[in-house]
Structure 1
Amino acid sequence: MSQARPDHLTWRHRLVALAMGLSLLVLVVRMVELQVVNHERYIEQAADTRASGAATLTAPRGAILDATGYPLAISIDTWDIYIDRYVWAQDPDAASGAAIALAGMLGLDADQLMASGTSDDRGDILVQRRLPYERGAAIEEADLWGIRSLPSSIRSYPEGDLAGPLIGYVGLDNEGLWGVESDFDHLLRGQPGWVLHERDAVGRPIAFGQHAERAPEPGGEVQLTIDRFIQDIVERHLREALLEYQSSSGSILVMDPYTGAILAMASMPAVDLSAVGTDGAPEGEALAGSVRNRALTDLYEPGSVFKTITTAAALDLGLVNAESGYEDTGVAEVGGYAIRNWDFQAYGWVTVREYLQRSLNTGSVWLSQLIGAENFYDYVERFGFGEPTHIGLSGEAEGMIRTPEDQDWYPVDLATNSYGQGMAATPLQVLTAINSFANGGLLMRPYIVSRVVTNDEVRSYEPVEVRRVVSPATARTMANLMRDVVEGVEWHGARVDGYTVAGKTGTTIVSIPTGYDFDTTIASFAGFLPYERPAVSVLVKIDQPGGDVNLGGQVAAPVFAGVAADIMEYLDIPPSEQLVAGQ
């Protein structure tokens, strides 16, 4: 009878075997982590710890395009040229020959190159950054002793300074400094690459050492809603207006009232992109002022343009119609304050239509009392005042407005707010609100980016309806009233030959810490055309015009007319008579 083989493994043997098995398993897991899972990360760390042999390869920055696909900002391939001082120190004769050859190719002094390249025997020294591609490629081809050429790029703006505050600028570190270049830097900049030549602790190459590299990943492409031709029209007219009216600054916005797309956004004074970083270029506060996108950062009291908002609220609540009226005595008493018309005149019986045509402060005060504070500020909020538009650009101001919930609000605030004073908004907020009268009563979110293309996806941005602010009937009535403000007033400055314009002027006395400066104004006009089928909406804001004229109708309205006429021609929009005939 056979006997079973005795088991000589004790619990100690099994424990040792288990420990060895677990150790082997841990080792295998760690090797997989190092060699497979986190391979790229540890390669990068290796490059960092061998800094003397590693070099960063700048990723080509993505392009910024206008609405038609034309580049507004692109990256051009260049080279960065370095001297390997360790290599030069090993063979001074070869280094001297390389210095003479390199000096001839770059137009530099050979002796100075030699001195710089032999001042130390370790590390690299930069000779020239962002050398034009053809010249850098010639140096790379020459394979000079101890000379290293690394691919790089430089930012170029094909349209020059066009939309400088909006487009932005890229610094030497390849990061956006302001504007779209900054706000969308995470999409535009791409992923830098690197190249690693393994060296010892004193910078000497290790024979048969590791050589590794990762190619840079190009940045994404950002397409804007801006049309470069409309932007050029706007900037030309704004520049001429500031000169003609002796103004220090101003803004012009052009939008598609149905979608909220920004077709042009101009602010002046504007940065000279070609001069940034050069001797004599603006710095500090001067540079900050020239790169500021005033259309969305600067707050102002919108003045009589805001009377359209007050009127729309009264119409939408059914309190009045276009022919309702009041007795204008030239003054309205509210909370112990006397509010007068801008021209200090009284007009007797005045309808809603006539009060807007004459831009009477007493008319908006009358309507605000009918509306009441609760309803009035509800409509103000509906139209988007007091909150950012969420356009997606940094620096956007929210606006300022007091409500009855605020301790420093008084009944007279309701009266002054009704004609756009005692509150503050951005030009973008104002035109976004005015758009609702052109598009049937909808508040459309303004947007500036239409598409982003990256290695992973193509993302398109569609119009966003924020909310309905007034009924379609109210919007039609307001558009009709705004048409009569321009077309029903003889010699109105905003008229455009061949086209029916709807709009409203605004003149605001500039506020200062102690109250108001009655000698200075902000002149503005907001409107859209053609009235029959609005193609664009435009807001013109001219700050503190000098000379003999300073009212919105005298300054901003004619600028609007010039901008609008050129845009109609560029877009090839049929005249209003043809639009009416085709309906």
Structure 2
Amino acid sequence: MAERTRRPARPRQRVIHLEPVPAGRMRIVYALLCLGLIGLAGRMAWLQVVQSRDLEARARSLQTQRTDPLGTRRPIVDRSGRLVALDEERFRLWAHPRYFNFPGDAPQRVRPPLEVARRLSGLLAVPMAELVKRIGDRPSGIRLAEGIDPETASEIRRLGISGLDLEAYPYRVYPQGDLFANVVGFLNLERVPQAGLEQSRDEDLRRHEQSRSLRRGADGTPLPDSLSPGVFFGDDLRLQLTLDARLQELAAKALTAQIKKWKARKGVAIVMDVRNGELLALASTPTYNPNRYWSFPAARFREWSVQDLYEPGSTFKPINLAIALQEGVIQANGRVNDTGQLQIGGWPIFNHDRQGNGVIDFPTVLQVSSNVGMVEAMRNLKPSVYWDWLYRLGIENRPDTDLPGAQAGQLKAKELFTTQPIEPATAAFGQGFALTPLKLTQLHALLANGGRLVSPHITRGLRAGDALASSGRSSGQQLLRPEVTRTVMAWMESVVDKGSGKGAKTPGYRIGGKTGTAQKAHNGVYIPGARICSFVATLPVNDPRFVVVVVVDEPQGDNAYGSTVAVPVAKQIIDGLLVLEQIPPQVAVNAAPG
């Protein structure tokens, strides 16, 4: 019988019998779900209603990049656009040793300070041992270096060392060194202005910067909303000076050499445009380097030519003669009798050489610098009228100038001046009152420009881009008649042609001048042997444009006079001024015979 084929047995299916869920359990599950939904709704309500402002602020802070102003300042340039002061970008290097890590290192590896110092030493020009000493054993926040230039900062970034941070900040630089320090001043390490224009024009020199808040999307894309108008605007204004760096350097070198030669305490040289009061040069010595101001005594930070008072002596005689001419108490062709000495109110008055010159005209009075001749010329002017003129000229008032720290002069009280005959007598030859070299410059400009009292200044204002301001227009209060000033200018020309100012004579040019050698007083008492030597020059006489004033304080030596100490400095300045300003000769120069 044939064998039957077996079929595989079917698996038996398990039958699960559904049992009804107890009603109590359903109620528990339902209650748990409701509680969850209520909790979720409550949390959402808490976040959206109660914490919405805080969360929005946190989101804004994460999405917004805020940049605070660096406090940069505008540049300062001279009259030709040469940089005098500017901000440059510098960097501070901060070290965080607990994060020291080189490119390619494991994330958890921390390099020792010595290895970091080895890589930085060459770039910073600091010995490794010094860098390791600075790092010490502190874990973070160590200032390793300051004043790092952008090129060096880029090299440090290329090292890729973790734990090193570069902080950018503006740094004030004075490319001309000590050339303009006396008027520009400087900023200290905290960028607080300490002297000069940096201090007096602080608001003008600060750039108008705003804090910048830039929102970004989730992918870092900048979003244009919420930006205030003009936030990315950067002004390119510059403060332009009237000073000329070339003339300033020439004046400073000539003055410094003469101060050294005569072992004087200090000196100043001023060049002023008589038409508008612009100063082309204001050099004083000793001075300082504003890039390293901490290396100099604080006394040098003040500009003494606008702050210190002195008795002008004989350089004031032309101004007195102009007053006498204006009041009609002397005539242009008049003469005086110089006996060599006088007694005024019981006080003796002498000429500097104690010699008489006889009957002389007023050009000769200036040429020989006769004190007696000046007293004779001014004694017909009522003391009250004379005092009023000195007051009207602003001796007692602070000059209207933008030079920081300018001081008013000193004038005796009117009652004393009018009741004591010695007071107007000594004022006749420039003593008994005091002023600054700047004020003397302003008053000689008054003689040169036809009688207008212009305001001396060293700035032309803020300019944008490469534009430069032109010279200001003629201005000033008219105090003297032009014919009076022309007469006095002719007398001053004779001083350079025939008198004590011959050292300033330049062939082909008409130059007027007056020397001065005055006693120096302290607290109302004259210091034995102490002198102030000065010289004032005006050029060209036929059409005056410039006044040059040189004042040297306490030169040493028996031969120290205005003609020997101050005139040589003025001569060098005048020669340079004629070339720089391209002033043509006024008279033909006779060629030397062959």
TM-score range, shorter chain: 0.7 to 0.9
Aligned in 2, Cα 1:352/1:118: closer, same or farther, shift over 3 Å? closer
- Whether 2:582 is the aligned partner of 1:572: answer yes
Quote how far apart the aligned CAs of 1:154 are: 2.5
Report the equivalent of 2:346: 336
Matches of 1:67 and 1:544, distance apart in 2: 33
Aligned in 2, Cα 1:358/1:112: closer, same or farther, shift over 3 Å? closer
Q: What is the identity, as a one-letter code, of the residue corresponding to 1:185?
A: D
Q: Identity over aligned residues, as a percent?
A: 27
Q: How does 1:508-547 map to 2 (within 5 A)?
A: 508-513=518-523, 515-547=525-557
Q: What is the identity, as a one-letter code, of the residue corresponding to 1:374?
A: S
Contact 2:501 2:513 in 1 (8 A): no
- Whether 2:138 is the aligned partner of 1:128: answer no
Number of residue pairs matched by the alignment: 512
Q: Deviations over 1:71-97 (max 9, x none)?
A: 1122222222223578669x7734648
Q: Secondary structure at the match of 1:522?
A: strand
Q: Under a length normalisation based on structure 2, what TM-score does the superposition of the two structures give? A: 0.77
Quote how far apart the aligned CAs of 1:302 are: 0.1
Contact 1:103 1:113 in 2 (8 A): yes
Contact 1:340 1:361 in 2 (8 A): yes
Contact 2:79 2:468 in 1 (8 A): no
Matches of 2:145 and 2:391, distance apart in 1: 56
Matches of 1:511 and 1:129, distance apart in 2: 48
Q: What is the identity, as a one-letter code, of the residue corresponding to 1:472?
A: P
Q: 1:225 aligns with which of 217, 230, 242?
A: 242
Report the equivalent of 2:75: 63
- Whether 2:408 is the aligned partner of 1:398: answer yes
Aligned in 2, Cα 1:572/1:87: closer, same or farther, shift over 3 Å? same
Report the equivalent of 2:33: none
Quote how far apart the aligned CAs of 1:332 are: 2.6
- Whether 2:277 is the aligned partner of 1:260: answer yes
Range with bigger deviation, 507-516 or 477-486? 507-516
Contact 2:451 2:478 in 1 (8 A): yes
Quote how far apart the aligned CAs of 1:385 are: 1.3
Q: Secondary structure at the match of 2:574?
A: helix
Contact 2:275 2:474 in 1 (8 A): no
Report the equivalent of 1:73: 85
- Whether 2:105 is the aligned partner of 1:93: answer no
CA RMSD of aligned residues (A): 3.7
Report the equivalent of 2:288: 271
Q: What is the identity, as a one-letter code, of the residue corresponding to 1:503?
A: G
Structure 2: runs of 5 or more not aligned: 1-52, 102-106, 215-219, 221-225, 590-594
Report the equivalent of 1:28: none
Q: How does 1:108-127 map to 2 (within 5 A)?
A: 119=137, 124-127=141-144
Q: What is the identity, as a one-letter code, of the residue corresponding to 1:126?
A: R
Q: 1:106 aligns with which of 124, 145, 159?
A: 124
Q: 1:295 aligns with which of 294, 305, 313?
A: 305
Q: What is the identity, as a one-letter code, of the residue corresponding to 1:270?
A: T
Q: Deviations over 1:125-184 (max 9, x none)?
A: 322222110121333455532332222232222223212212222221123221222222
Report the equivalent of 1:7: none
Q: Under a length normalisation based on structure 1, what TM-score does the superposition of the two structures give? A: 0.78
Range with bigger deviation, 563-572 or 214-223? 214-223
Q: 1:449 aligns with which of 442, 453, 459?
A: 459
Quote how far apart the aligned CAs of 1:475 are: 1.2
Quote how far apart the aligned CAs of 1:112 are: 7.3
Matches of 1:298 and 1:362, distance apart in 2: 28
Aligned in 2, Cα 1:112/1:243: closer, same or farther, shift over 3 Å? closer
- Whether 2:246 is the aligned partner of 1:234: answer no
- Whether 2:137 is the aligned partner of 1:137: answer no
Q: Deviations over 1:51-107 (max 9, x none)?
A: xx9996633332110100111122222222223578669x77346489365556435
Report the equivalent of 2:200: 183
Matches of 1:335 and 1:72, distance apart in 2: 54
- Whether 2:167 is the aligned partner of 1:150: answer yes
Aligned in 2, Cα 1:528/1:408: closer, same or farther, shift over 3 Å? closer
Aligned in 2, Cα 1:528/1:452: closer, same or farther, shift over 3 Å? same
Aligned in 2, Cα 1:562/1:104: closer, same or farther, shift over 3 Å? closer
Report the equivalent of 1:39: none
Matches of 1:121 and 1:490, distance apart in 2: 74
Matches of 1:192 and 1:84, distance apart in 2: 31
Q: 1:502 aligns with which of 498, 508, 512?
A: 512
The higher radius of gyration belongs to 2
Quote how far apart the aligned CAs of 1:386 are: 1.6
Matches of 1:226 and 1:323, distance apart in 2: 40
Matches of 2:460 and 2:125, distance apart in 1: 45
Q: 2:263 aligns with which of 233, 241, 246?
A: 246
Matches of 1:304 and 1:426, distance apart in 2: 15
Matches of 2:263 and 2:488, distance apart in 1: 34
Contact 2:501 2:514 in 1 (8 A): no
